[in-house]
Amino acid sequence: MDRNNEGQLNLAEHAELETLVELSESMSLVRGEAIHLLRRTQ
């Protein structure tokens, strides 16, 4: 992350980081929905 904050990533590294951030956001949304559904069934 330091290299990103300092603007030292090359194009491929930047693209990979963007992909990982998007994946993390998607997983968080799915996790949140799963928690919501589990609480409804209890």
Question: What is the rounded distance in angstroms from the CA atom of residue 19 to the CA atom of residue 22?
Answer: 5
pLDDT digits (tens, 9 = 90+) for 12-32: 999 999 999 999 999 999 999
Average pLDDT over residues 2-9: 95
13 to 25, 40, 42: CA distances (angstroms) = 18, 41, 43
What percentage of the chain reaches a pLDDT higher than 70? Answer: 100
Confidence of residue 4 (pLDDT cuts 50, 70, 90): very high
Residue 41 has pLDDT above 90, yes or no: no
CB within 8 Å of 14: residues ≥ 6 apart: 4
Confidence of residue 42 (pLDDT cuts 50, 70, 90): confident
Question: What is the rounded distance in angstroms from the CA atom of residue 11 to the CA atom of residue 4?
Answer: 11
Structure confidence at residue 5 (pLDDT): 94
